[in-house]
Structure 1
Amino acid sequence: MAVVGEARKNDGRLPALSAPRFVGRDGELNTLRSALERTPVVVLVDGEAGIGKTRLLREFLASEAERGRRALVGACLELRVPYTLGAVVDAVRDGVDNVAGLRLSGLGGALRPLFPEWADELPPAPEALEDATSARHRLFRAFAEVLGRLDVALLALEDVHWADEATLEFLLFLVSRRPQPVSLVLTFRRDEVPSASLLLRLASRLPSDAHLVRLTPGPLDVAETVSFVSSMLGGGYVSKEFAGFLHARTEGVPLAVEESVRLMHDRADLIRRDGGWARRRLERIEVPPTIRDAMLERVQRLHPDTRTVLYAAAVLSGPVDFATLRAVTGLSEERFAAQAAEALGNGLLREDRAGQWSFRHSLACDAVYDAIPAGERRATHLRAGRVLERWPLAPVAQLARHFRLAGDVEAACRYTEAAADLCVQSGDVATSALLLHSLVATVPLPAGVLVGLVTKIQFQALSGSDPYSAITEALRSALAGQALTPLERALVRFQVGRVLMVAGEIEAGRREILTALPHLSPGSAETARARVLLALPLGNARPVSEHLRWLQEAPPLTQPVASLDRLRLSVERAFALLMLGEEAGWAAALEIPDDVLDPQEASIVAIGHTNVGEEATRWGRYDEARTRLAKARTLAERHQLLDYLDSIASSRAHLDWFTGAWSGLAERTARLVDDDGGVRLKDRCEASLVAGLLQAASGDREAAKERLRFAGDDDQQRIEAAAALAQLCLGDGDVEEALRLTDQLAGTVVGGGLWSRAVEFAPARTAALVAAGRIGPATDVVNALEGALGDRDAPAPQASLILCRAILAEVDGRLTDAAALFVRAAGAWEALPRPYDALLARERSARCLLAQGRDEAGLPLLSSVAQALTELGARNDAGRISLFLAGRGGDVLAVTRGRGRPGYGNRLSPRELEVARLLVEGLTNRQIADTLVVSVQTIASQVKSAMRKLDVTSRTALAVRVVESGLVVGQPQRTLYDE
């Protein structure tokens, strides 16, 4: 007690704290000044929260203002759903009194929705455009015109890591124009930039002639910390011990240093000692290690009304005008004015522009928000919602958030759906899905409302590895806690099953759907979709015929079905048919449109093309697969469906593995596999499968097994993963493990007749049975595949069947037949093309020849296979053959040369061969580049290389030569070659 009393008596002797001096940033400030003396530049200022990015920018802007250079400044707010172009709108609005004298062209009318207060001064609104991308581009041009008419030298945006996609696109638009109309200074926190953010493209893919300057302010050192703290204490001396303590606990982050000093000042933990400032009782004083701790203690010392003001500001979460902030507090005007003045005086709030109030730091806002008692937080959100409802232009996204957190279910649903619909209309499907997901996951909703909202969620557009659990929990809570009719229960249960299946919990999802189905209306969209989901051959083994019955015996639709639901049903039915190996699926797939304008339709169509592309890969229709995946990517990029790109990328990686386009493939798959927070499990598993196959081919067998086991976690990849693992086990001589791996899935693939999944599995199962001496069961596998496959136009399974027949012929001792069959299999693989499988088949053919004593034919063939495997990147297989040849006295020179980057001599590389195939189809360099997702310059280089190797002087001659040589099957399309 005596200690506390002494501290309180010393309060009066503590100096009032001042704002800290600008310390330790002279170098950065000079760099900014030098950079912006040149032609328009882009300055990127990145650093952690509290490091001083805002202070650096404000000091620079103050010096620029003295020189008469005009700058516009905006800030991106930390909102769950950012305002579209909010920071740019604020910057223009704050920098311009009116636009009447700017004499804008007709483009200015596009700004009307964003600046309703200038409606009388802007040109008439232009004609509405159906294409969201075109509308957005027109809006960007209008903003650029305003900046030009205002003679703005600099546009500065803070906290760009919170920027909406439209703002980032606008910044990309500005830096791509020549001349660049304005210099940009952007501050952001690199560790909070989403992996798919366009900010990364802005930082790494500027035009070659753009001027880029990067600044990364670092923490203060001890000497700078001394100067910083001294400036807050009226210039007094600060002991080195004190400064060292502060620096160690705050890591030199200026904001943390400042708030720690303020807290110690409030606690009277600062004393004079030996002519300088020090800490009282070193061993007992706990200085807060984070800014959050400092803020919360400061807030608790304030007057209750002052806390109410801070709570309101934290709930509003961004700059807000005086009148709105007062209304949200619920205080009288007199009480609010007094307590708001205290908040400003304490440095907690600032009036950062005329009439706009906000926290000085976003971390401070977070800390205060977390400290609000739950009941008061809900009440404040409710007041905020009711205040914002009265705005002339209702901010529906903010209203959705406030009413959701206030627990007002009806209002939350109304505004969430309105905000989601607006997002969709502007092409932002991802934000729409996020809004709906947040509502469903956090607010108990009536069953009917819940079902309607879950139906609208586009899970594919949500980032993160598990967007499903919270939704299934909400649906199950409705089942357990609400009095529902049988139909209502069935509708909720169907949604539980659907979401579980999308999440990969196939059997659990099937059980829920089977329970719901008898109680759904027979002719409804829900019944039709339930039957399609049950038709998918996923999960436990069932005969294909059982899955097909769900489609074949489906009752006709008798109830009205929305066009969006019809499109979804059409897409999902085509996918199911192709998975089941039905050629009717290709006719159904033709009904999927190539392009749509509506963003919701685009999301369904993009998924549809991706799924058809995956199935085309399994059937061996690689051109179809490549085309479908390209269409999906085009739609995803056009409509900003950024989270769809990972699925497309993993499917494309799978296709590239088969076709031998292995260059850079390991790096692409690693990015997908390692991103466990942003990439869905299904896509990570598919990428892991490809990564494992690459590692197995290169010789890293243990790493390959780890990747393949992980890939098996996904139902759609587990069959191929098990087959690859079985092949590795056979290579290690572990026949029992190969049998065990394939035993588990034989009932699904072979017994059930699911031939579309048998391409890799059937040879692995056959080889395992043969190695175990079980020739009869192996023959049964091959016969079952042949019976299920029939004469379908499925090149990959047909090639696999030939390979299986060759394996049986070899074990039966019919070596001549086996060698011929392996050659046939190789030819079938090459026609796809699948160069790796073709080379392995030729290797087995060569070994059959050697077993017959035909060394003169077998050894050269084996040597050429080893060389080709080396060039492809399959070093493990090439090394195996090399060792064998060394023991037989064969030519191993071709193999031992294969170090470093493979060389192809006068043979076309796998990628050159792929380019040639597309060239034969009549595609231009640009079309080939778009298909293969590379630059036009790369394609031009590969075409020239192919022409040189084949000794031709024109594209037409190249096309004719590759067809005549048998490298490519087809008829040259001469009309497009000599471009």
Structure 2
Amino acid sequence: MVTTRSGTRSGQLPALSVPRFVGRDRELTALGDALGRPPAVVLLEGEAGIGKTRLLRELLPSSSGPDGRVLIGACPPLREPYTLGAVVDAVREGVGGVAGLRLSGLAGALRPLFPEWDADLPPAPEPLGDATAARHRLFRAFVELLNRLGVAVLALEDVHWADEATLEFLLFLVSRRPQPVSVVVTYRPEELPPDSLLLRLSSRVPADAHLVRMTLKPLGVAESATFVSSMLADEHVSAEFAAFLHSRTEGVPLALEESVRLMHARADLIRQNGAWARRRLDHIEVPPTIRDAVLERVARLRPDTRTVLYAAAVLADPADYPTLRAVTGLPDERASAQVAEAVGCGLLREDGRGQWSFRHSLACRAVYEAIPAQERRCMHLRAGRALEAAPLPAVAQLARHFREAGDVEASRRYAEQAADLSAEAGDVATSALLLHNLVTTVALPVEALVRLVTKIQFQSLPGSDPYSKVLESLQSALRTQALTPAQEALVRFQLGRVLMVAGAMETGRCEIADAVPHLPPDSLEAARARILLALPLGAARPVAEHLRWLREAPPVAPSIASHERLRLFLERSFALIMLGEEVGWVEARQIPDDATSPQEAALIAIGHTNIGEAAMRWGRYGEARRRLARALALAEDHQLLGHFGSIASTAAHLDWFTGAWAGLPERVAALLDDDGVRLKDRCEAALVAGLIQAAGGDRDVAEQRLRFARHDDQQHVEAAAALACLHLYDGDVDEALRITDEPTDITVRSGIWPRAAEIAPVRVAALVAAGQLDRAADLVATFARALGDVDAPAPQASLVVCRALLAEGEGQLSRAAALFAQAAAAWEALPRPYGALLTREHHGRCLLAAGREQAGLAVLSDVARALSDLGAHHDADRVTRCLRERAPSSRAPRARRGRPSYGNRLSPREREVVRLLVGGRTNRQIADALVVSTQTVASQLKSAMRKLDVSSRTALAIRVVELGLVGDQEQPPDGDE
């Protein structure tokens, strides 16, 4: 049979059609069923080009259906981030306007995102000082808009590229009861960051919603043949040709389409024996990637058509024809024809609004990366100027275009505007990212650099190190720019501030100290610098040095904004109290309970929270409780959502001290598991969790929590004290001394006694255990001199404990017992029941050591019961063992009701654990055999080692065999180690 390259009598290749929807009937039915029973959450994943977009368009063919409106948006990769970008685009594309919707005043929060609806939206609400509250208000406004528009389905594509606000909004939507709309998201799992909020979406789905998770797979050979045939007027495709295409494209639909289009452009398609095939099977190579296929096709187009495609790739977002033509730089008569050709080649598409864009983001990216650098810069400049002339310019897009064009000033101006708009909408993450990108990628004048760095909220930036590039920009400005002394001081102040925020306290303090002499004396920076230097953060310094910075500070200038003056006043009060100055309480009493604006409310709430924490350190627990209640009331009244974590963590800390332990483990666990809680507050929650675990006997978990808590400077000292206690219980005195050395310098030796209440007794106990009585006595004397007779109940009680420990170490048992009793009474008066009980335990032991057996046993018996009732079972067990040892024939109280105490004898469960240990089992194997946790096994082995006075697992195994405490040894299962 004669071979021809033609499918027609004229000898020309047929035009290619858009491929038909092939091989997805099962998926289409499943998704349709799910959306037919709202509300639904659909998670559709698959690799690039697999057909997620096509499936979505087939499933949701129009902007409205019988059950409500359908909105579809996408998250393209090249766009400069802006708040809720995909959701805003979905609403814009599917809705003509909001006139007549009778929106409430809440919808005024949408104004920054929809400036074109200015005439129809309610007035903008009062700005909120708290970014989380502003974002929450924006989310509620969007939900109201979706409800009034009758939206049934919100579909977002390529969510692996979504901004953080969009992901948070999706979580907000599916967390509502009832869920207001069905949600469909598509994403590529290989491009999803491991910490993406999208991973939490399925866990938020309410019980009455339908969750569908689906992964699109490549097409098979037969399906690939049908797919290709649909592009060739449904004519038959040879089996050999289909197998070849499938092997080269692995059945990925977009790769199949691009390969066929490329072969069509090369004229490599032929008709042979009644079927479509390819020429020269042994020579033709279809590019293995979509990128190569796209670029080879683009290279075959006419230059003007390539220019149109380049312009569309530079714009990235859908654009109208005038904008697209302006970016090409072509005359209108030439541009019009080439736009049509670009559509005809299958790369561009026009939507119902007359907006032009690439059919697939992968093709857009491939073309963009292929544009020659100089041409790309020129096109970005033309794009910026064209979009700048629009009635409502998109500032985020303008920032990107002018940055890529090299126009630093325009890029800075629009990026800052975009960041301000994001912050106004409550999207602090996008605002911080825009500012961070600007500061770290553009050589800015020093005034702009300082201003922008001041605005960055680093805690909202992704990644483990959001600071280093900003630090490099500031250091580069110091090295390369000709700065006046005042300009250099401003840069150094910002450098020092960022270093301190990043945890490099000492380096940061040095930079700020160097800056102070040259800062304008009446400036905000000069006042903030002295506050930062006054706060007792970082390494140890004498308290007098910290106070000097406060006393040298000039009066706050009237020119400083009122909210900044309030901030300085609050920070000064907190610093004075943390430095042990009574005058700080005089100033703190002037902090108002109410606010006249959300911004003021946020500052006052922070102020009350900080003063509440300081009151807790002093032992003024009633004051602390009142301050936290005021902060919480302000946070609730003004929806200051970002403050709830700080208030809750400090309240949990206070409840630990005051013995309000009911439900406390669950509360701190919730704080630790909430990614929205700041690191500082999670560290405080970890501290409380570690203290609870230690009291309950779960040592390993306790140590893990306490080590995490030490990441925060405010919790570092108390966490170190708790860790040292664990090591003292283990008999590791050297480690306890090592851990407490630096915190003791920071607190007792520097004279900053409000932070010494927890560390001082542990340090004294470690010194006494090491036989270093002279050093212990010096420490107690130093603590007493620093503290004086100030009204600070917790540190004063702590000082009495230190004196009692020293007296006990010196053998003055009667005096020690009396001092322990005095300290316990002081703890009880606070109230601080756990501290009081541990101190009474010392009191009872001293009575026993002094020969007052009956009185000591009575005290310890009461302590054991009270510790068990409080929930400190580990401590209760310890006291009960002491009672059994001293009076084995007496009926000592049980630490845990309903469970016998075995004194120095192994319990039945401990015998079982040891039996398996002797048989060669690991902790994991023992736990599996007994259906308990590995932590429980470790605790029981540790208890057995303590009872039998051995220090290792091997010694324990030998000892129990010697004593005949276990029966026949059991061998581990085959294959186990």
By how many angstroms is 1:200 displaced? Answer: 8.2
SS of aligned partner of 1:72: strand
Residue 791 in structure 1 maps to residue 792 in structure 2: no
By how many angstroms is 1:549 displaced? Answer: 0.9
Query: Is the CA contact (8 Å cut-off) linking 1:689 and 1:721 kept in structure 2?
Result: yes
SS of aligned partner of 2:756: helix
| Superimposed CA distance per residue, residues 619-667 of structure 1 (whole angstroms, 9 cap, x where no aligned partner) | 3344555565666677778888777666666555645554545422564
Amino acid at match of 2:751: G
* Structure 2 CA distance for partners of 1:49 and 1:415, relative to 1, 3 Å: same
Query: Is the CA contact (8 Å cut-off) linking 2:573 and 2:587 kept in structure 1?
Result: yes
Residue of structure 2 equivalent to 1:761: 759
- CA separation in 1, counterparts of 2:262 and 2:683? 50
Residue of structure 1 equivalent to 2:894: 894
Q: Higher relative contact order by CA 8 Å / sep ≥ 6: 1 or 2?
A: 2
**Number of residue-to-residue matches in the alignment:** 870
SS of aligned partner of 1:350: strand
| Superimposed CA distance per residue, residues 107-130 of structure 1 (whole angstroms, 9 cap, x where no aligned partner) | 79958887666778x5xx655542
Query: Is the CA contact (8 Å cut-off) linking 2:567 and 2:603 kept in structure 1?
Result: yes
By how many angstroms is 1:536 displaced? Answer: 1.6
Residue 220 in structure 1 maps to residue 217 in structure 2: yes
Residue of structure 2 equivalent to 1:384: 383
- CA separation in 2, counterparts of 1:855 and 1:694? 31
Q: 2:39 aligns with which of 38, 41, 44?
A: 41
Residue 490 in structure 1 maps to residue 495 in structure 2: no
- CA separation in 2, counterparts of 1:594 and 1:173? 34
| Superimposed CA distance per residue, residues 884-917 of structure 1 (whole angstroms, 9 cap, x where no aligned partner) | 4554436677346589xxxxxxxxxxxxxxxxxx
Residue of structure 2 equivalent to 1:950: none
- CA separation in 1, counterparts of 2:142 and 2:412? 34
Stretches of structure 1 that go unaligned for 5 or more consecutive residues are: 1-5, 7-11, 900-979
Amino acid at match of 1:349: L
Residue of structure 1 equivalent to 2:817: 819
**1:204-243 matches, cutoff 5 A:** 211-220=208-217, 223=220, 226-228=222-224, 230-234=226-230, 236=237
- CA separation in 1, counterparts of 2:26 and 2:163? 28
Residue of structure 1 equivalent to 2:665: 663
SS of aligned partner of 1:214: strand
When normalised by structure 2's length, the TM-score is 0.76
Query: Is the CA contact (8 Å cut-off) linking 2:269 and 2:276 kept in structure 1?
Result: no
SS of aligned partner of 1:74: strand
Query: Is the CA contact (8 Å cut-off) linking 1:802 and 1:821 kept in structure 2?
Result: yes
Amino acid at match of 2:216: P
SS of aligned partner of 1:73: strand
By how many angstroms is 1:159 displaced? Answer: 5.2
- CA separation in 1, counterparts of 2:879 and 2:511? 52
Residue of structure 2 equivalent to 1:438: 437
RMSD: 4.8
Amino acid at match of 2:237: G
SS of aligned partner of 2:41: strand
When normalised by structure 1's length, the TM-score is 0.75
**1:617-632 matches, cutoff 5 A:** 617-622=616-621, 624-625=623-624
| Superimposed CA distance per residue, residues 760-786 of structure 1 (whole angstroms, 9 cap, x where no aligned partner) | 210111011111212222122222222
Amino acid at match of 1:232: V
By how many angstroms is 1:455 displaced? Answer: 2.5
Amino acid at match of 2:735: E
**1:2-41 matches, cutoff 5 A:** 19-23=18-22, 25-38=24-37, 40-41=38-39
Residue 738 in structure 1 maps to residue 736 in structure 2: yes
Residue of structure 2 equivalent to 1:452: 451
- CA separation in 1, counterparts of 2:301 and 2:649? 54
Query: Is the CA contact (8 Å cut-off) linking 2:873 and 2:896 kept in structure 1?
Result: no
* Structure 2 CA distance for partners of 1:392 and 1:284, relative to 1, 3 Å: closer
**1:298-697 matches, cutoff 5 A:** 305-370=304-369, 372=371, 374-558=373-557, 560-592=559-591, 604-605=603-604, 607-622=606-621, 624-625=623-624, 651=650, 654-655=653-654, 657-658=656-657, 659=659, 660=661, 662-664=664-666, 667-668=669-670, 671=673, 682=680, 685-686=683-684, 689-690=687-688, 692-697=690-695
Amino acid at match of 2:352: R
Which has the higher mean CA deviation after the structures are superposed, 139-148 or 588-597? 139-148
Query: Is the CA contact (8 Å cut-off) linking 1:41 and 1:183 kept in structure 2?
Result: yes
* Structure 2 CA distance for partners of 1:143 and 1:498, relative to 1, 3 Å: closer
By how many angstroms is 1:385 displaced? Answer: 2.0
* Structure 2 CA distance for partners of 1:653 and 1:137, relative to 1, 3 Å: closer
Residue 130 in structure 1 maps to residue 126 in structure 2: yes
* Structure 2 CA distance for partners of 1:285 and 1:636, relative to 1, 3 Å: farther
- CA separation in 1, counterparts of 2:216 and 2:328? 37
* Structure 2 CA distance for partners of 1:853 and 1:365, relative to 1, 3 Å: farther
Query: Is the CA contact (8 Å cut-off) linking 1:433 and 1:459 kept in structure 2?
Result: yes
- CA separation in 2, counterparts of 1:541 and 1:145? 55
**1:769-808 matches, cutoff 5 A:** 769-808=767-806
| Superimposed CA distance per residue, residues 595-632 of structure 1 (whole angstroms, 9 cap, x where no aligned partner) | 65766656655554554344334333445555656666
Amino acid at match of 2:520: S
Query: Is the CA contact (8 Å cut-off) linking 1:863 and 1:891 kept in structure 2?
Result: no
Query: Is the CA contact (8 Å cut-off) linking 1:49 and 1:363 kept in structure 2?
Result: no
* Structure 2 CA distance for partners of 1:719 and 1:445, relative to 1, 3 Å: same
- CA separation in 2, counterparts of 1:493 and 1:680? 26
* Structure 2 CA distance for partners of 1:259 and 1:594, relative to 1, 3 Å: farther
Query: Is the CA contact (8 Å cut-off) linking 1:827 and 1:838 kept in structure 2?
Result: yes
- CA separation in 2, counterparts of 1:320 and 1:137? 31
- CA separation in 1, counterparts of 2:693 and 2:34? 47
| Superimposed CA distance per residue, residues 142-162 of structure 1 (whole angstroms, 9 cap, x where no aligned partner) | 9857865x6665554545673
By how many angstroms is 1:758 displaced? Answer: 0.8
Query: Is the CA contact (8 Å cut-off) linking 1:87 and 1:167 kept in structure 2?
Result: no
By how many angstroms is 1:44 displaced? Answer: 3.3
By how many angstroms is 1:99 displaced? Answer: 6.8
**1:277-292 matches, cutoff 5 A:** 288=288
* Structure 2 CA distance for partners of 1:72 and 1:285, relative to 1, 3 Å: same
* Structure 2 CA distance for partners of 1:183 and 1:230, relative to 1, 3 Å: same
- CA separation in 2, counterparts of 1:640 and 1:14? 66
SS of aligned partner of 2:185: strand
Residue of structure 2 equivalent to 1:939: none
- CA separation in 2, counterparts of 1:88 and 1:170? 10
Amino acid at match of 1:729: H
Structure number with bigger Rg: 2
| Superimposed CA distance per residue, residues 333-376 of structure 1 (whole angstroms, 9 cap, x where no aligned partner) | 34444444454344433324321223334454445545555554
* Structure 2 CA distance for partners of 1:596 and 1:46, relative to 1, 3 Å: farther
| Superimposed CA distance per residue, residues 94-113 of structure 1 (whole angstroms, 9 cap, x where no aligned partner) | 4455777x585887995888
* Structure 2 CA distance for partners of 1:332 and 1:600, relative to 1, 3 Å: farther
Amino acid at match of 2:228: M
- Identity among equivalent pairs (%): 59
- CA separation in 1, counterparts of 2:637 and 2:416? 23
